[in-house]
Amino acid sequence: MVSEQDIWKYLEEVSDPEIPVLTIGDLGVIRTISLENELCTVVITPTYSGCPAMKVIEEDIISKLHEKGVPNVKVELTLSPAWTTDWITENGRAKLLEYGIAPPEDEVDKSVLFAAPTVVPCPKCGSRNTRMISQFGSTACKAHYQCNDCLEPYDYFKCLK
Amino acid sequence: METKEALFEYVLRIGDDSLILGHRVSEWCGHGPILEEDIALTNIALDLIGQATNLLDYAGQLEGKGRDGDALAFLRYDREYKNLLLVEQTNGDFGKTILRQFLFDAYRTLLLTRLSKSTDEQLSAIAVKSLKETKYHLKHSSEWVIRLGDGTEDSHSRIQSSLDALWKYTDEIFFANEVDALLEKEGIIPSMEGIKNEWTFFVSDIFAEAGLVIPTNNWKQEGGRTGRHTEHLGYLLAELQYMQRAYPDMKW
Ligand SMILES: [Zn+2]
């Protein structure tokens, strides 16, 4: 008989389709796992409303658990509480940095218009002399930055609170 | 009218705003004036479509007739859409798209901030989620309005004429009828009056900084909230609904 603990463990093998270096656990999108009468329910929350990866994540969870011998799996989506970048684990942040994506920095409230862009250290050389190219990057969750010292262009996993 | 029926109508309105504007903005994909803006607009469109999915799925649940978000998005006729006339207006040049977005984002941010505290749990959850994204949109559109308004002679005159063209659709943003009255009484939605004051103050401020002048012609057009649209919506829906109409119930 599998336990909830086992399910959490199995799901460590499911990675985020857009940032494969992260597991969905690292990303903090798995909210709860429950087992009841042979049915395993996994509740996940989207990072962004329009995140196209959610459908893939749902399918990956189901097929991973099938592979592990858990036949009855239901994946539910919840919007509340809303996902925040604070839920990315320490391990996840370290993996992002190693992968070349700057992890989220603590930022001022977005309701403050025209605040200077956040200083995001370069993931390649560590320099803080960097600039924001665009608030919007390759996916909904990222902004686009460039290092003024080593010239590396890089993604920044922008802070969402 | 029952609360549930009123809430269905209300969620449909704001869901249609997201859907139709999201589709409009997505038309920029591959056509942005610079690569960064192409990506920015596409991301904004994606957020809006995501918000539309959440809202229209919820509207379908409230209606209780077995329609989900997809059915509501793809299988209604133009008169059944309740979006603002503002959001169905054509993209025009980059400045017009930005100005339309700005007028909408400013309203939407104020609305979502208040809806976050709605007594309706699901509406509040959707609002909290959407607000985080919309704040980024407003930051983006406000900065561009100032940059274009206070930019070259050409950018200034072009965005000013977009403001002249779109201003007549802004009154409708604050449309309210018996649906709103009922929901407001139950603490589900905020009063439009308060939003209108704050919105007016906010956009006037940004326009002043951009050196743009709000038109003094007070003729206003409305109709979207009751299903009477400008000619542009029909063309938009023809494209949006094409696949479902040509191949009903198709999946891929
Ligand atoms: Zn560097």
Task: Give the rounded distance of the alpha carbon of B200 from its chain centre.
Answer: 17
State percent of chain B over pLDDT 70.
100
- Decide if A31 touches B, using CB distance below 8 A: no
Query: Residue A13: helix, strand or coil by DSSP?
Result: coil
Between A38 and A115, residue with greater pLDDT:
A38
Q: How many CB atoms lie within 10 A of CB B31?
A: 11
pTM (2 d.p.): 0.92
Give me the pLDDT at residue B152, please: 97
CA distance B163 to B145: 10
Which chain B positions have a beta carbon within 8 Å of A52's beta carbon? 46
Q: Examine residue B83 and state whether it is found in any structural domain, yes or no.
A: yes
Q: Looking at the 3D structure of chain B, how many domains does it have?
A: 1
Mutation choice for B interface testing from A79, A132, A133 by most B CBs within 10 A: A79
CA distance A25 to A30: 6
The pLDDT of B187-207, averaged and rounded, is 96
Mutation choice for A interface testing from B29, B46, B114, B138 by most A CBs within 10 A: B46
Q: Cβ distance A112 to A126 under 8 Å?
A: no
Its sign, for the CA torsion B199, A161, B137, B46, is: negative
**Each residue's pLDDT tens digit, A9-34:** 999 999 999 889 999 999 999 999 99
Q: If pLDDT is split at 50, 70 and 90, which confidence band does B197 have? A: very high
The pLDDT of B196-212, averaged and rounded, is 97
- Does the pLDDT of residue B224 top 80, yes or no? yes
Give me the pLDDT at residue B249, please: 85
Question: What is the residue whose two structure tokens read 């207006």?
Answer: B89
In chain A the first and final C-alpha atoms are separated, in Å, by 38
- Decide if B47 touches A, using CB distance below 8 A: yes
State percent of chain A over pLDDT 70.
94
User: What is chain A's mean pLDDT, rounded?
Assistant: 90
Give me the pLDDT at residue A109, please: 54
Q: Examine residue B191 and state whether it is found in any structural domain, yes or no.
A: yes
Q: If pLDDT is split at 50, 70 and 90, which confidence band does B21 have? A: very high
Q: Examine residue B251 and state whether it is found in any structural domain, yes or no.
A: no
H-type helices in B27-81, by residue range?
35-63, 69-74
How many cross-chain Cβ pairs, A to B, lie less than 8 Å apart? 82
> Tell me, what CATH number does B137's domain have?
1.20.1260.10
Q: If pLDDT is split at 50, 70 and 90, which confidence band does A160 have? A: confident
Q: How far is A50 from chain B (nearest CA, A)?
A: 3
- Decide if B189 touches A, using CB distance below 8 A: no
Q: Cβ distance A50 to B46 under 8 Å?
A: yes
Q: Examine residue B10 and state whether it is found in any structural domain, yes or no.
A: yes
Give me the pLDDT at residue B217, please: 80
**Each residue's pLDDT tens digit, B104-121:** 999 999 999 999 999 999
The DSSP call for residue B1 is -
List domains and CATH numbers for chain A: 4-83 (3.30.300.130), 96-157 (no CATH)
Q: Cβ distance B10 to B181 under 8 Å?
A: no
- Residue B142 CA neighbour count, 13 Å, CB half: 23
Q: Examine residue B147 and state whether it is found in any structural domain, yes or no.
A: yes
Give me the pLDDT at residue A65, please: 96
- Does the pLDDT of residue A114 top 70, yes or no? no
| Contact at CB, B39 and A46, closer than 8 angstroms | no
Which chain B positions have a beta carbon within 8 Å of A160's beta carbon? 132
- Residues in B 103-162 with any Cβ partner in A closer than 8 A: 109, 121-122, 124-126, 128-130, 132-133, 135-136, 138-140, 142-143
**Each residue's pLDDT tens digit, B136-160:** 999 999 999 999 999 999 999 999 9
Give me the pLDDT at residue B218, please: 79
- Residue B13 CA neighbour count, 13 Å, CB half: 26
- Does the pLDDT of residue B67 top 70, yes or no? yes
Question: How is residue B99 written in tokens?
Answer: 């100005």
- Does the pLDDT of residue B198 top 90, yes or no? yes
Q: How far is B230 from chain A (nearest CA, A)?
A: 28
Give me the pLDDT at residue A56, please: 93
The DSSP call for residue B91 is -
**Which among B54, B72, B56 is positioned nearest to B131, based on CA atoms?**
B54
The pLDDT of A32-43, averaged and rounded, is 94
- Does the pLDDT of residue A112 top 60, yes or no? no
The pLDDT of A95-120, averaged and rounded, is 79
- The ipTM (two decimal places) reads 0.84
Angle, helices B94-115 vs B3-26, to 10°: value is 150
**Domain membership of residue B147 as a residue range:** 3-214+223-246
Give me the pLDDT at residue A105, please: 87
Task: Compare CB distances from A136 to B43, B54, B126 and report the shortest one's residue.
Answer: B43
**Each residue's pLDDT tens digit, B175-195:** 999 999 999 999 999 999 999
Give me the pLDDT at residue A113, please: 64
Q: Cβ distance A44 to A29 under 8 Å?
A: yes
Give me the pLDDT at residue B100, please: 98
Q: Examine residue B82 and state whether it is found in any structural domain, yes or no.
A: yes
CA distance B183 to B12: 14
Q: If pLDDT is split at 50, 70 and 90, which confidence band does A102 have? A: very high
Give me the pLDDT at residue A49, please: 87
Q: Examine residue B123 and state whether it is found in any structural domain, yes or no.
A: yes
Which chain A positions have a beta carbon within 8 Å of B39's beta carbon? 134, 136-138, 144
Q: Cβ distance A87 to A22 under 8 Å?
A: no
The residues, ordered by sequence, that sit 6+ positions from B106 with a Cβ below 8 Å of its Cβ are B138, B142, B199, B202, B203, B206
| Contact at CB, A50 and B53, closer than 8 angstroms | yes
Give me the pLDDT at residue B70, please: 94
**Type of residue numbered A87:** W
CA distance A132 to B4: 45
Which chain A positions have a beta carbon within 8 Å of B142's beta carbon? 113-114
Q: Examine residue B252 and state whether it is found in any structural domain, yes or no.
A: no
